A and B are shown apart, each in its own frame.
Chain A
């Protein structure tokens, strides 16, 4: 039978533990260092084609590796002596790992960064500005959607350009519309049209357990969009205040409370058990507010043949959330020149065109997106590209994760109708502003 360790006895062990403690304290003291500000842009010089280096490229999406490998083949023709190894870390662990790597100065030379995490890395000097490449004309920020270019700039310094982009649209299941005897909405529909359609379909198909619409706890695909559409904002332009305690934001939240209250959407509990995208791909949901990235999942699902896409219904104004991933260079990289060469190449038209043609994502470079649209001709994927015109960047700040946690904690109560939307919005706004002021 295993025995738990005995209580300490005798002097030897005690002496040893005292030594250990002393060593530990010394090491702890040695580990202290002070935080640093944004990185100064080092002088930029385009890499010579005979540059010999070995660099790492950190990404999180296995599904895109094939397209990346194709990009790297093109890169190897320009720089035959730069060896690139691609490190894939699943998204769920990616940012936890990245933070550990950043703390120990062992970041990949080039890596993917997303909007919510960008400012954290930029303001702490962990990533290199692209100022040099832009001044040399190797990257032209005008080639990419403005909202996304802004996402990767902090205090007027640009740290990267988007490598891809996604916007939000309404995925519709035509078969359920037909079954419910409801005509498909027009593309220029409004909030009221959506609410009415959702409630009607839910009622008609209640025997099948199917629903017309669905809310959920993912801001990017739901309440951020409606807050923008109501004329509100999530984070004020100066990044110092929350936009939640405004009548517009309240209206944007109320939209989802109304949808659940009318029966147009499954309850928050049901959506916790089974997320909205799964309701849709399993044929139990007629209208799903979802990102362009859902395309691959829809194509593989049973509803693939009966799916179309509509623009989001308009509120006070039309709006959608746009987001895209960026390639950034680690400021601590020892092969910075090689990493920048790859960063520039991946941002270029040729590499972007290739990404789009392989259908992995919507590339961000202007006029390289047709490949994505053509990848599913029976769905109007053009909707996601047209949405760029009125797209707003995903709300972020230096420590977005902290207030994202508040949203997740507070908003379900408002959506379920347990607490008045106005109360939740003002309390959330207050605490979020306090967090933003600390950043």
Chain B
């Protein structure tokens, strides 16, 4: 992963509010159409496979859909039905619980990444691979393994808990426990990605700062708190954004761990699962489109809020 060693403390994302610098426009004019020619293959792909479907979804969220296509315009009916649907609020609550638990992985990743970054640590690359493996493994494969681990009667987790005298619940078939079980797996599998990003950020912290801190008598903990963490805030911010967005999109992991026949699903489903259920099981695609737009707007708002708040804590 490449990183900019000369400006280690720069925010990875420019604040949204800055006005465009004047020279930029001149550059665009001088280059004429060439930049657009070069980006057009990518832009065409994005337009066809992202922008168009999003617009279509937005349109269809105002319609009632026939099972095999064909739609009637129904205005805001889907949205009116959505806001009073208790399933939506259950799904939103579950998604927030999931996101909250997965976010606990961010401080954990900061700590682990700085441990891995200890100068002279042997087998550092090996550990890095070890932590990153769950991230590259297929979610369904991971889910199958965890499903067996979580099995209430025959799972290794409850066996181990039993050895220390704790009677574990039926993890994936008890309401409440199920979403926590899924979140633990989500946390575990996202840790590697966060650590790689944070590790790259750590490499960019100038060693002189640590030397100076050491001369001033700072303990390793103090160094971590006053040098590492502040200089790492841009990376932490980036990891937060990515983690929250991907947590809001929880689907495959939950689908594979809980299974589509699980009786706790109605109480444990995530927003995207709710969308899937309405669109592909109940064949109600107009309503599903409205759910999709709700998720889209929600993620947009949360991300916008994060960008607003970052000025208060991200070092730049």
Contact = CB atoms under 8 A, between A and B. Distances in A.
Contacts of B13: 3-4, 6
Residue among A7, A96, A270 with most chain B CB within 10 A: A7
A218 B51 CA distance: 41
A139 B78 CA distance: 46
A1 B200 contact: yes
A408 interface: yes
Contacts of A399: 67, 282-283
Interface stretch (A30-38, A72-80, A166-174): A30-38
Nearest to B20: A9
B68 A273 contact: no
Contacts of B238: 1-2, 4
Interface stretch (B101-109, B130-138, B258-266): B258-266
B265 A409 contact: yes
Contact of B14 (A7, A35, A217, A273): A7
B263 A268 contact: yes
A25 to B, nearest CB: 7
B223 interface: no
B174 A408 contact: no
B16 A7 contact: yes
Interface in B64-105: 66-71
Interface stretch (B52-60, B117-125, B212-220, B290-298): B52-60
Contacts of B70: 32-36
A276 to B, nearest CB: 11
B263 A408 contact: yes
Interface string A1-22: 1111011011010000000110
Contacts of B56: 24, 27-28, 31
Contact of B282 (A23, A34, A405): A405
A70 interface: no
B1 interface: yes
A103 B69 contact: yes
B312 interface: no
B263 A412 contact: yes
A269 B280 CA distance: 26
Given A3-B13, A32-B70, A269-B174, A10 B280 contact: no
A35 B265 contact: no
A3 B154 CA distance: 45
Contacts of B201: 1
A408 B268 CA distance: 14
Contacts of A35: 66-70
Contacts of A273: 150-155, 170, 172-173
Interface string B220-234: 000000000000001
Given A402-B283, A405-B281, A405-B282, A99 B173 contact: no
B170 A270 contact: yes
Residue among A24, A120, A126 with most chain B CB within 10 A: A24
B299 interface: no
A294 interface: no
A101 B241 CA distance: 37
B4 interface: yes
A274 B153 contact: yes
B235 interface: yes
Contact of B25 (A1, A10, A99): A10
B280 A96 contact: yes
A1 B67 contact: no
A14 to B, nearest CB: 12
A124 B67 contact: yes
Contact of B55 (A1, A28, A103): A28
Nearest to A272: B173
A272 B66 contact: no
A126 B68 contact: yes
A102 B283 CA distance: 13
Contacts of A31: 56, 69
A412 B25 CA distance: 63
Given A33-B69, A35-B66, A126-B68, A272 B263 contact: yes
Nearest to A24: B55
A182 interface: no
B156 interface: no
Interface in A259-283: 266, 268-270, 272-274
Contacts of A23: 47, 52
Contacts of B4: 1
A9 B25 CA distance: 10
Interface in B173-211: 173-174, 197, 200-201, 204
B300 interface: no
A21 B55 CA distance: 7
B59 A99 contact: no
Contacts of B28: 10, 12
A415 to B, nearest CB: 9
A409 B1 CA distance: 46
Contact of A270 (B25, B152, B241, B280): B152
A25 B60 CA distance: 11
A120 B283 CA distance: 11
Contact of A99 (B68, B152, B241, B266): B68
Interface string A95-106: 010010011100
B12 interface: yes
B261 A103 contact: no
A269 B173 contact: yes
B163 interface: no
Nearest to B46: A20
A99 to B, nearest CB: 7
Contacts of B197: 1-2
Given A1-B1, A33-B69, A99-B68, A272 B14 contact: no
Contacts of A102: 68
B277 interface: yes
Given A20-B51, A402-B282, A32 B71 contact: yes
B151 A120 contact: no
Nearest to B151: A273
Contacts of B59: 25, 28
A266 B170 CA distance: 12
Contacts of A366: none
Given A1-B200, A12-B28, A408-B263, 12 more contacts: A10-B25, A23-B47, A25-B55, A27-B56, A32-B70, A99-B67, A103-B69, A217-B261, A268-B173, A272-B259, A402-B283, A405-B282
4 closest Cβ contacts across the A-B interface?
A: A412-B263, A24-B55, A272-B173, A35-B66
12 contacts: A2-B1, A4-B13, A24-B52, A28-B55, A28-B59, A99-B68, A99-B283, A102-B68, A218-B261, A269-B174, A270-B170, A272-B264
Interface of A: 1-4, 6-7, 9-10, 12, 20-21, 23-25, 27-28, 31-36, 96, 99, 102-104, 120, 124, 126, 209, 217-218, 266, 268-270, 272-274, 399, 401-402, 405, 408-409, 411-413
